Structure 1
Amino acid sequence: MSEKWARLVLSTYRWVGAATFPIVGAYVAFRASKGKEERGRHGERYGVASVARPSGPLIWVHAASVGETSAVTPLVEAIVDMGIHVVLTTGTVTSAKMVQDRLGDRVIHQYVPLDLKPAVDRFLTHWQPDLAVICESEIWPMTILELGTRRVPQVLVNGRLSDRSFANWHKRPSIAEALFENLAHVVAQSDIDGERFRALGARPVTVSGNLKVDTAVPPVNNGDLAAMQRMIGSRKTWAAISTHQGEEDIVAQVHHMLKARHRDLLTIIVPRHPDRAAEIAETIEKMGMKVALRSRGDQIEPDTDIYLGDTIGDMGLYLRLTEIAFVGRSLTAQGGQNPLEPAMLKSAILSGRNVQNFRDSYQRLIKNGGAKLVRDKDMLAGAVNYLFNNPAERQVMIDAGLKTVEDMRGSLSRTMTALEPFIQPLVLKARLSSREGGWK
């Protein structure tokens, strides 16, 4: 595909988006009916701001969901500490709640506008950002093109390209280059990610490591933790976190297999999508097991088999209840989930083999002895049983995980170094604006 043809495709995308804009209301309304949009704030998805723009320099930071929001929070705090206003956009209700909980009124939160020309144009006209910082793998063609048209510098931080995303972009190199040439800098998570961005035409590209390693340890309410520990008592526990469809069935079967050897066993399941909890509970109960749900305030009784952690923002609680954690989206689904939180919270980590999206983190953990991959249900049951029976080996894995996380730290400072040429002029501008305001 020639460069001319690629630009024609992107131009067509731009105007098709503009033409379909009037009919997307039904789509947003449908999402709202499913609880995926916050009622009363629909206008933000169309680029209609809900608050005024503050005077002075402003940086737009975008983080798609909970994981990206958690990763970018320390970076946002560092920018705000420099005296720069930040409008932070996210795409989900849960990530919006996280912004409120962790950053409060230090930033302006808005829902990200739909990637359609009228919405993006309205958003940019109101906020007039001096810099756009995008987290991880959010590649929105219209947004990138509109920022480029307005000559707003765009920096991708904690950049990651999965095997599938890279393969898709690689089939359309001219389109990829026409988009990525708009990025002023890409700060990639790993050497592999960096090589992929360069192959697609991004320049310059630096490697920082994973910002998620530099986030604070997931918080916990100590009262809730103490209450849970009292209910569990001396029972043996293991957790399956960030599970996807099909994996909960496997975990329940593993629980049944292990209970023959560990009569006091309690298995904790934390599904990636808590709205599936009722369905998961029904399936497990049909298998003859007793399930308790945190969202209902169920107590953990002596005969409770499965505790379903179906609440948002409580991962710090669930992981503090065990020393063995299986990380999902790795047996029945592809890509894996982030293993760093269980490593931070002192768990021996188990996972299926499909962890391509977090390859660098898993390679480091496995090399140091902090994680092991399992092939199937039987291998998972064997691994959990082994770790129950060998506490010394379990501690070795826990210590290795903690060391791996410590060795990986430093991404935040490297990312700030990459952003410095873009941020420092804004810091100077903010100081000058403040002084001029004071004189007036």
Structure 2
Amino acid sequence: MSRTAPARATLLYSLYCGASALIAPFAWRKVAGKLRDYGLPEDRVRERLGHASLPRPAGRLIWFHAASVGESLSVLTLIARMGEQAPDAEFLITSGTPTSAELIAKRMPPRCRHQFPPLDTAAAVDRFLAHWRPDLGVFVESELWPQMLVRARKTGCPLVLLNARLSDKSVAGWTKRPDTARFILDQFDLLVTQNRKTAANLKAMGAAPDRIRPGSNLKAVSAPLPVDQDTLAKVRGSIGERPVWVASSTHDGEEETVLEAHKALLKQHPGLCLLLAPRHPERGGKVEALVKQAGLSCARRSKGVLPGTQTQVYLADTLGEVGTWYALCPLVFLGGSLRDIGGHNPFEPMQAGAAVITGTGHYNFAETYAELTALGAAAEVRTAAELADQVAQWLEKPEVFQSARDAAAQFISRQSDQLDTTVDALLALLPHEGGCDG
């Protein structure tokens, strides 16, 4: 594939390469320790040094690199769609956490395999590239490892930054080093952004405008969260005909507001049940204490208890069950937003058919929420009183609530259409015959 020569390497990049070589033994000890503590076999631990634990498949290989769980899972739908369009293509996913590896293994599309990425040192990266010889490299969101990018590009492998998202802090840091920012971004043949703000930031950082394209947020088209039908039936049966609302992914300092809103709602809806799912289940004991302090009755999921007919709060302090709770109730408040936390993925509840209430501290999804609130698919609140009022409106006016759910479903459908455009753009960069020089 023909391309203009990239910008020259900078002194800062050279210093980074030297520093990475010096700290490599310490970085290796740390990451290896974490993987061993998780119980992984040694051949998998050594993947971080670039030693593959699987053979390279024959044919064209598309490599996806993601940071952790959310980014890794977000590409699975895209990989499945690409696999349908290019039936001869094989896929490799690299991600750094054992949790992401475990979840990917359970949901992996056909012709796909997972490895841990090499440390960003010359020796580890070169070893990785020599074995896998990717024909296309796709880096997800903001996972930019300089040597991995530069050394992959030198093999002739086209590179893509996909679902690009950069924090304001990250942008500010890069713009202070414009030559290095331009050098790193110039390794990419294509930069597909989540939103217009990221596109503008990439241009300001020195990315070539003709390589920047808008795209959908991959998390909007990920496969829906799993639902445990047995658990769903049991909880639904124990709650009965009582109305329910869900407060999901709440953080320290947010449950008090949610519980205050629930107490206000109970005055008009005495049978109402709140299903409260903290972002970090290990906080279950503290959250249970807050519920009791608020004078509300509580049943705790982690203790194997089902909600009774008088249970006012069902504390769902477990991992991996959020999809079941969204299937139980489509009226969802999504936490991480009443405080300056950045918000959480609104696409997961919407994929389950829900409409979403959020606080205003959702800066990680600011552009998405602006569109969702304009469409009526989401509602913003600031206080316990506003939260109670919004929940009450959707409980008492089913036609208004259904309209919000319909708007959310239409938004998700449009994102799926954009996914096909992204697939086409990526496959256009894939060489017709496998085997980038490695």
TM tier relative to shorter chain:
0.7 to 0.9
Q: Structure 1 pair 135/380, CA: closer, same or farther in 2 (3 Å)?
A: same
CA contact (8 A) 1:255 1:267 kept: yes
Aligned pair count reads 424
- Which residue in the other structure is 2:15 paired with? 12
In the TM superposition, what are the counterparts of 1:191-230 in structure 2 within 5 Å?
191-203=196-208, 204-230=211-237
Map 1:92-111 → 2, pairs under 5 A: 92-103=97-108, 106-111=111-116
Question: What are the Cα deviations for residues 281-340 of structure 1, in whole angstroms up to 9, with x where unaligned?
Answer: 455455554544444433222343333334444332111111311112211133222212
CA–CA separation in structure 1 for the residues paired with 2:240 and 2:79: 40
The answer as to whether partners of 2:373 and 2:379 remain within 8 angstroms in 1 is yes
Q: Find the partner of 1:372 among 379, 397, 408.
A: 379
| Match among 47, 52, 55 for residue 52 of structure 1 | 55
Q: Are positions 1:358 and 2:361 aligned together?
A: no
- Please give the per-residue CA displacement for 1:16-55, whole angstroms capped at 9, x wherever unaligned: 11111112244236645885x8565322233332222223
Q: For residue 428 of structure 2, what is the amino acid of its counterpart?
A: P
Q: Distance in 2 between matches of 1:329 and 1:283?
A: 18
Indicate how the Cα distance of structure 1 residues 248 and 141 shifts in structure 2: closer, same or farther if over 3 A, else same: farther
Q: Distance in 1 between matches of 2:204 and 2:157?
A: 24
- The answer for unaligned runs of 5 or more in structure 2 is 1-6
1:395 maps to 2:395: no
Contact 2:298 2:315 in 1 (8 A): yes
- Of 148, 157, 173, the residue aligned with 2:153 is 148
Aligned pair partner of 2:66 in 56, 63, 66: 63
8 Å contact 1:157–1:415 — kept in the other structure? no
Moved more, 174-183 or 416-425: 416-425
The equivalent residue for 1:75 is 78
Please state whether the residue corresponding to 2:307 is helix, strand or coil.
coil
Match of 2:142 among 137, 140, 148: 137
Are 2:79 and 2:109, in contact at CA under 8 Å, matched by a contact in 1? no
Cα pair distance change 1:27/1:365, threshold 3 Å: same
Specify the SS of the correspondent of 1:335. coil
Which residue identity lines up with residue 119 of structure 1 in the other structure?
A
Amino acid at match of 2:127: R
Q: 2:170 corresponds to which residue? A: 165
Q: 1:256 to 1:117 in 2, by over 3 A?
A: farther
What RMSD over aligned residues (CA atoms) do the two structures have, in Å? 2.7
- After superposition, the C-alpha distances for 1:394-420 in whole angstroms (9 at most, x for unaligned) are 222212222222233322111112112
Q: Given the alignment, which residue of 161, 179, 183 partners 1:178?
A: 183
| Shift in alpha-carbon separation, 1:26–1:56, aligned structure 2, 3 A | same
| Contact 1:214–1:410 (CA under 8 A) maintained in structure 2 | no
- The residue type paired with residue 159 of structure 2 is Q
Shift of 1:345: 2.2
> Superposition pairs for residues 261-300 of structure 1, below 5 Å?
261-285=268-292, 287-300=294-307
Aligned twin of 2:3:
none
CA–CA separation in structure 1 for the residues paired with 2:90 and 2:131: 14
- CA drift of 1:370 comes to 1.2
Identity of aligned residues (%): 36
Deviations 1:372-411 (A, max 9, x none): 1111233222222332232222222212222222233322
Larger deviation, residues 305-314 vs 152-161: 305-314
1:22 maps to which of 12, 21, 25: 25
Q: Is the 8 A contact 1:292 1:299 kept in 2?
A: yes
d(CA) in 2 for partners of 1:287 and 1:327? 21
| Structure 1 unaligned spans of 5+ | 431-440
TM-superposed CA distance for 1:181, in Å, is 0.7
